[in-house]
């Protein structure tokens, strides 16, 4: 192995992960008297809160991505390395990148989380989640390929399956996906096809808990649910998915088991810590929770290692109110800034009080002119919430040119309802996808076409047609 070490160098901080946690740690250390090495397996920072808009054709991947080298161009103390960390040696204070080791004085691990299918990893290829650019492109391919397949399909039952979208999980990602697909079906694509009526699309949003957007105030969850219903989205709470197989979703609500045929199933439920969490557990003996998130100390270090910090989605910080902080961008941002300041204080022989998250609130887009915002001092809904949502997301985009591009795309989409990034790309061509999925027997689809939830969706859509000026995403 090649050992990289600089003699007589300033304190060396190695950051693994270029998401919000790692990015803001490095940015806050930009003018400090330390050397920073930021390692990521991708060469860009991804603005995940807008990833659903890539998946539904509003934005392109480049619109929400910032090259890490460009972000830190003027940060002369910061080095960016492209690579994937395979192991960590806490005793030697080194991270291992393939055949290369990088020494550190302080290590910050911010590698995020992956999707959790609750022990059903065989569902992963059948119901993709939304965490990466590749996920977004694959979901976009499936959504738009579904409409193309329905246009060519002559069998009514198969066509109905192509026009049925099931989203599992009703947190912000699930709600925003449902609203965006609703606008696609009922507005954007309405005049684009000749053999199908896209307003016959059925969108089913399944949530295991008692209400959608569970981290928000109950009244805002209710507002969001009613708003989605007006958009033609059927929501079912207290519903647990028990099987996904052969384009059939089986779910249980109480004692009632139902099935629905769908060619497009999307996963927005459950996360688990990245694999580096287990590496840390094996190397240091630190405890992980059931989701693979590393249990951290009040100062975000791990037990027994004061120079190793774990932040963002990978860390389980439960020292504020006894509950783990949510895996959202503001948490990772504040943790990154705190760690950077603590490192500087320690180099001066000082310290900081334990980390405390300033919960400014949460927000979710539902449709055009419609969002919900739950702040610590006020709760907003409708148009004002929608404006607030736009401003916040523009503010947190990393680069100025990215802000301009996104504002222009949003303005164009608002005026024309035309999504310019409706591209079908990916591993499978449309014909390959259609051949594979059409192997499902017509008998199975016909049996499931009588499921009550489909009737409920039709009734919901029928009511929508009588609502004037209905909002769309």
pLDDT at 5: 45
pLDDT at 427: 64
Structure letter (DSSP) for residue 293: P
One domain, residues 305 and 247: no
pLDDT at 136: 97
Phi, psi of 370 (to 5 degrees): -145, 120
- Please give the residue range of the domain that contains residue 13: 2-41+83-115+271-347
The number of angstroms, rounded, from the C-alpha of 269 to the middle of its chain's C-alpha atoms is: 10
> Per 3-state DSSP, what percentage of the chain is helix, strand, and coil (rounded to 5)?
40, 25, 40
Please count the structural domains in the chain.
2
176 is catalytic: yes
Paired residues of 273 in beta bridges: 113
One domain, residues 128 and 98: no
CA gap 156, 173 in Å, rounded = 31
CB neighbour list of residue 261: distance below 8 Å, 6 or more residues apart: 157, 160, 161, 164, 247, 248, 440, 444, 445, 448, 449
Half-sphere exposure of 158 (CA within 13 A, CB side): 17
- pTM of the entire predicted model: 0.87
pLDDT at 167: 98
pLDDT at 274: 93
CA gap 14, 106 in Å, rounded = 6
Helices 400-416 + 383-396 axis angle, to 10: 150
Token pair listed for 44 = 């860009």
Q: CATH number for the domain including 225?
A: 3.50.50.100
Determine contact, residues 15/108, Cβ cutoff 8 Å: yes
Token pair listed for 347 = 């180099």
One domain, residues 155 and 140: yes
One domain, residues 321 and 449: no
Tell me, yes or no, whether 410 lies in a domain.
Answer: no
The four Cα atoms 237, 162, 131, 318 give a dihedral, to 10 degrees, of 10
Residues of the chain with pLDDT under 50: 1-5, 429-430, 433-437, 439-473
Given 153, 176, 297, 335, the catalytic residue = 176
3-state secondary structure of 256: strand
Q: Choose the final residue of a domain: 313, 347, 381.
A: 347
One domain, residues 294 and 305: yes
CA gap 118, 369 in Å, rounded = 35
The four Cα atoms 206, 208, 209, 211 give a dihedral, to 10 degrees, of 0
pLDDT at 8: 65
pLDDT at 426: 74
């Amino acid at each position: 192995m090649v050992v990289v070490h600089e003699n007589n160098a300033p304190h060396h901080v190695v950051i693994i992960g270029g998401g919000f946690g790692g990015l803001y740690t490095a940015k806050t250390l930009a003018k400090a008297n330390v050397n920073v090495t930021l390692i990521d397996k991708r060469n860009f920072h991804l603005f995940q809160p807008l990833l659903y808009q890539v998946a539904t054709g509003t934005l392109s991947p480049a619109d929400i991505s910032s090259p890490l080298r460009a972000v830190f161009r003027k940060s002369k103390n910061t080095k960016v390395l492209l690579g994937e960390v395979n192991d960590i040696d806490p005793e030697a204070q080194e991270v291992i990148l393939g055949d290369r080791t990088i020494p550190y004085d302080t290590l910050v691990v911010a590698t995020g989380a992956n999707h959790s299918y609750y022990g059903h990893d065989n569902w992963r290829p059948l119901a993709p989640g939304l965490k990466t650019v590749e996920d977004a492109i694959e979901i976009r391919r499936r959504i738009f390929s579904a409409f193309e397949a329905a246009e060519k399909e002559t069998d009514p039952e198969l066509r109905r399956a192509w026009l049925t979208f099931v989203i599992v999980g009703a947190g912000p990602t699930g709600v925003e996906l449902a609203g965006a697909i609703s606008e696609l079906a009922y507005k954007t694509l309405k005049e684009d096809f000749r053999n199908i009526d896209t307003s016959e699309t059925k969108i089913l949003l399944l949530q295991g808990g008692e209400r959608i957007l569970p981290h928000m105030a109950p009244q805002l969850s209710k507002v969001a649910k009613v708003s989605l219903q007006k958009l033609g989205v059927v929501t079912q709470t207290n519903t647990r998915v028990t099987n996904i197989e052969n384009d059939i979703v089986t779910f249980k609500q109480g004692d009632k088991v139902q099935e629905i045929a769908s060619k497009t199933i999307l996963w927005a439920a459950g996360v688990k810590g990245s694999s580096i969490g287990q590496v840390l557990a094996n190397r240091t003996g630190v405890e992980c929770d059931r989701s693979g998130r590393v249990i951290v100390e009040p100062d975000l270090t791990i037990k027994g290692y004061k120079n190793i910090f774990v932040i963002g989605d990978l860390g389980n910080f439960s020292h504020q109110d006894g509950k783990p902080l949510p895996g959202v961008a503001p948490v990772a941002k504040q943790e990154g800034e705190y760690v950077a300041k603590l490192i500087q204080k320690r180099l001066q022989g000082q310290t900081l009080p334990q980390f405390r998250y300033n919960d400014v609130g949460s927000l979710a887009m539902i449709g055009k002119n419609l969002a919900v915002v739950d702040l610590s001092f006020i709760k907003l809904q409708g148009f004002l919430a929608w404006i607030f949502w736009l401003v916040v997301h523009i503010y947190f985009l990393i680069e100025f040119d990215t802000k301009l591009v996104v504002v222009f795309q949003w303005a164009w989409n608002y005026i024309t309802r035309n999504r310019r990034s409706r591209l079908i790309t990916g591993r499978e061509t449309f014909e390959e996808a259609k051949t594979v999925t059409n192997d499902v027997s017509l008998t199975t689809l016909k049996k499931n076409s009588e499921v009550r939830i489909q009737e409920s969706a039709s009734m919901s859509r029928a009511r929508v047609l009588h609502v004037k000026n209905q909002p769309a995403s």
